[in-house]
Structure 1
C-alpha cells in the first residue's frame, strides 16, 4: 500500500518551510506529541495551530526532501452549500468541514503578497479519510478505486498545489 511518510523531527519540519522566513518557521507551533504520530497512515503531515486556528501547515516529502507550506485558513462564512469537496482527497464533507487554505508564493511573488489557494479538509486529515481511519461528517460516494489509487491522485493534487506555491510569477 502507498503511504507512510518517514518520521519527521522538529528540526526537519522547521527547516522544510519554503514560503515563510526562518524566524517564522522557528516560531510556528508544531503538532502536539510528534512522537505519537502514526506515520504509516500519513502521506503528508498537516496540522492547524490550536492557539491560532487560521494558521495551518503542511509538510510532505517531495523530490528527496521535505517541503513545508505555511497556510492561512479562510474565515468561514454562512454558505448556503450543504456539502463541500476536498480538492486533495475528494472526500465530501459538511461545508464547514472543508476550508479554503491559502499559501504565500515563494520568492518575490510571495513578498508582494501573492497567494495560491485550494479547498482542503479543515482538519488536514486527508490521508486518514482515504484509509477509512476517520469518517467524514457526511456520507461519501465511494468510487471503485483502491486506496493506492486514491493516495496517488491525492498526492498528485497536493504536488500540483505545491508547484503553484513554488512558482515565483512576480
Structure 2
C-alpha cells in the first residue's frame, strides 16, 4: 500500500473516531440532562378520604405531608396513620413512574456485555429491580358510625 493510500485510510479512520467521540459526548450530555430532569420529578397523592396529601421526591423521600383541617375530627389515629402510609406509597409510585418515563428512551436498545462480548455475564442481572409498591390493607371499618375523634378522648385517656 502506498503512502498516500495509507494516509487517506488513516484520515478516514480518524474522522470516524472523531464522529464517534462527538456522538458519545452528545449522548452523555443528553443522559446527564435526563437524569437531572428525572431526579427533579415529584409525586403527589391525596388519600381516598381527602384528609391527607403527600409529596414525595424522585428518590422516594417524603417532602411534604398536609392534613385537611377536619382530619383529626373525622378519623382515628390508627386510620389516619394507615391513610398516610397508603398515600405516601401512591405518591412514591407516581414519582417513580415520572422519573422512569424520562429515562426510558435512554434505556432502549442499549447493548449489554453479551451483545458485545459473547460469553460475558449480563449487566442487567446485576441491577436489582426496584421493589414493588405494595399498598397497605384498607383501613378497617368497625361500624357504620362516624369515627370518634381522638381529640374528644383527652379527658378519658390523657
TM-score, structure 2 as length reference:
0.24
Pair member with larger Rg: 2
More strand by share: 1
More helix by share: 2
